[in-house]
Structure 1
């Protein structure tokens, strides 16, 4: 009886084990690694910013005298030449001022002639002793005062004539009128601030972008670096330029510090217009024909699942060993650690490693990395183009294996079952 019970228990256990093995046991999914060979190509690191398109040189044309605007000879977008008449103020009052000063000059000149004749007569009488020294000095004084009055009247006349000339407003440069701030019949008052009548751009075939670069990125920006930018009006067009100037004066807005960077650009096709918003990319470093690998290869680390399928050979010291090599540095209220380095100017944390597949062996290799744009990285040494660099790994499930071939799209209409 006991023997039958033991046999029964054994059979039940075997049955349960078989049920668990075939129905409930979690199957281990195979692990597949993805590799890619290093390749040669172009890589660059860049800084992005936004800015506004502006003409290289603009001139604000104003008036030095007050008056009513009588004529306007230029409008928006008008092409003007240097010395071209743009506008004209009413000349009636200023012309009257010129005429008044001319009359004063004539009066002063007649006074000078009269006082000169008087002085000559008094001089002859003084020589023969007919008048006193005081009468002679008084005549001399009146004569010299008349001469000074003539000079003063002439100066006032020149001022009035100059003010009359200022009623005609001329273009100081060759260019295009960007803005007209006045209309015919409007009164302009010239006081401490000269009123602006026109804004003229010198040459709109050459434009500049005033980009605001963040303080975290400005350290990598240099003069003459290559720049590309786009504007909302032409999303499919990319415009080229170069860094011309980095202004030292900072701009602070909401505790964010930016620096104005001037970027020069050609506008021969006249697509760029003043005031357009530009999205700027400044290329801080570039390499042509560089050996490249995906950046995610630098972050790949094999796990225990790969050790069952591949032989792993690691050359990097484990984390415990790196911690032992750390030297404590005391100071202040906290203890910090400083890692020992064998290379000058480089720390151990900056060392880069990648994994390479060689048959059924995964070998870790130390590489020297140059530029890294977070998508691709430049390999300076440690790899050759014919090696298979591991970029990642994934588990292949039954659903993935069954996958794309037999599975219908849930968005497609399905036929009803009968």
Structure 2
């Protein structure tokens, strides 16, 4: 008899247990959340483009005379100075050419001296009626021909000296040098092509295309915005921001027929060599006087099919604020519509929130940084 009466009692206890969580939740009180106030920050109008890093100077190193490569005088990848020797071609043949040209100059000088003496003798004989005008004229012509031969010999000597100088291949600019194509022992010459490339490092150029639409918008602002005062900030593919600001120094004179864009170029300092020729980056342009805008941490944003929103705290309860955003400012997002200045925004603990839920707001360990 006792077993029969125990079953209804157990069922009643189970029902009581299932009904207890709401009461327990009610006993737990408001949900603790971390909040930060929506703040006003000075924000400049910004536009972002895709750009490419270019070295202002990029020189291909080539051999200007033919010979055996005797020495490679640099370490690949290092910084070389303007005028620093890079390669040396064997010299003996070119030194011999210089010596031969010097001999030709001496012979030409001797021939000129002789022709000058002969011309003077012919003039003396003609003055004494002991010579003829034809002989005098012939001696004058011989002297002029000797002068020409001397000039030719001196030019050949200069050419030989220049070619000897080309056996020392030096860097025409200061920059980093790449991987050498030829090593010691190879025969190189003008037909060998590029031996190596030197790329200047500081500053660097960044070129980026601007659409016709954006370009026309910028023209409307002419007089308000000076291109020389536009800040150029570089972002790397991993999202990090380069620590140097650049300035626009060139706008192309024509619009591309294929892409309907105009090329702009910025000059960016590169003291630590972080920018590399050919690198793809993002370019952010900021211009005009900063305007006060509401900003909140990006960590507070929640997205759904209707857009983005945040939980704010009002009268101790969680309320939804639908936002219209206007870009980013470092780790923060700019809010165009949907929030008031000073309104507490939930950034910690919103995962369990529902609209209208009672909350206990405490300052979060986050500060807004521009």
TM-score by length of 2: 0.60
Q: Which runs of 5+ in 2 are unaligned?
A: 1-36, 219-226, 297-323, 328-333, 344-353, 359-370
What's the counterpart of residue 258 of structure 1?
A: 261
Counterparts in 2 of 1:103 and 1:289: CA distance versus 1, 3 Å: same
Rounded Cα–Cα distance in structure 2 between residues aligned with 1:241 and 1:218: 21
Shift of 1:122: 2.9
Paired residues, number: 271
Rounded Cα–Cα distance in structure 1 between residues aligned with 2:193 and 2:134: 55
Counterparts in 2 of 1:115 and 1:243: CA distance versus 1, 3 Å: closer
Q: Which runs of 5+ in 1 are unaligned?
A: 1-36, 294-370, 389-399, 405-418
Rounded Cα–Cα distance in structure 2 between residues aligned with 1:284 and 1:58: 31
Q: How does 1:9-408 map to 2 (within 5 A)?
A: 40-178=40-178, 180-190=180-190, 195-202=193-200, 204-220=201-217, 222-232=227-237, 234-250=238-254, 252=256, 255-285=258-288, 287-290=290-293, 373=326, 376-377=335-336
Give the 3-state SS of the residue equivalent to 1:136 in structure 2. Answer: helix
Counterparts in 2 of 1:260 and 1:75: CA distance versus 1, 3 Å: farther
8 Å Cα contact 1:108-1:146 kept in structure 2: yes
Give the 3-state SS of the residue equivalent to 1:373 in structure 2. Answer: strand
Shift of 1:278: 0.5
Shift of 1:73: 0.7
Give the 3-state SS of the residue equivalent to 2:108 in structure 1. Answer: helix
Give the 3-state SS of the residue equivalent to 1:131 in structure 2. Answer: coil
Counterparts in 2 of 1:278 and 1:292: CA distance versus 1, 3 Å: closer
Give the 3-state SS of the residue equivalent to 1:256 in structure 2. Answer: coil
8 Å Cα contact 1:43-1:373 kept in structure 2: no
Larger radius of gyration between Structure 1 and Structure 2: 1
8 Å Cα contact 1:122-1:136 kept in structure 2: yes
Higher relative contact order (CA closer than 8 Å, sequence separation 6+): 2
Give the 3-state SS of the residue equivalent to 1:259 in structure 2. Answer: strand
Counterparts in 2 of 1:68 and 1:217: CA distance versus 1, 3 Å: farther
Rounded Cα–Cα distance in structure 2 between residues aligned with 1:164 and 1:229: 46
Rounded Cα–Cα distance in structure 1 between residues aligned with 2:287 and 2:217: 6
Give the 3-state SS of the residue equivalent to 2:263 in structure 1. Answer: strand
Shift of 1:196: 4.1
Counterparts in 2 of 1:205 and 1:402: CA distance versus 1, 3 Å: closer
Rounded Cα–Cα distance in structure 2 between residues aligned with 1:246 and 1:125: 75
**What is the root-mean-square deviation in Å for CA atoms of aligned residues?**
3.9
Shift of 1:209: 1.9
Counterparts in 2 of 1:129 and 1:385: CA distance versus 1, 3 Å: closer
What's the counterpart of residue 314 of structure 2?
A: none
What's the counterpart of residue 349 of structure 2?
A: none
1:1-30 Cα shifts (integer Å, max 9, x gaps) = xxxxxxxxxxxxxxxxxxxxxxxxxxxxxx
Rounded Cα–Cα distance in structure 2 between residues aligned with 1:109 and 1:402: 109
What's the counterpart of residue 17 of structure 2?
A: none
